Structure 1
Amino acid sequence: MQRRTLATLLASLTVCAALPAWAQAEEAPDALIKRLSADLLELIKQDPQLKKGDIAHISEVVDREVMPYVNFRRMTSAAVGPQWRQANEAQRDKLQQSFKAMLIRTYAGALAQVSDQKVVVKPLRAAPGDTDVLVRTEVHGKGEPVPLDFRLEKKPGEGWKVYNFNVLGIWLVETYRTQFAQELNKGGIDGLIQALSTRTFDASAPATAQTRQ
Structure 2
Amino acid sequence: MTSVVVFDYGYGNVHSVAKAVAKAGAQVQVTADPKAALAADGLLVPGVGAFDACAKGLRDAGGDKLVDQRLAGGRPVLGICVGMQVLFEGSEEHHHDIPEPGLAQWSGRVERLAAPVLPHMGWNTVDFPEDSELFADVAKGSRVYFAHSYAAREFSLVGGGPFAAPRVTWGEHDDKFVAAVEAGALWATQFHPEKSGAVGNQLLRNWLEHCGRLSL
TM-score normalised over the length of structure 2: 0.27
- Structure richer in helix, relative to its length: 1
Determine which structure has more spread, i.e. the larger CA radius of gyration.
1
- Structure richer in strand, relative to its length: 2
Greater RCO, 1 or 2 (C-alpha within 8 Å, sep 6+): 1
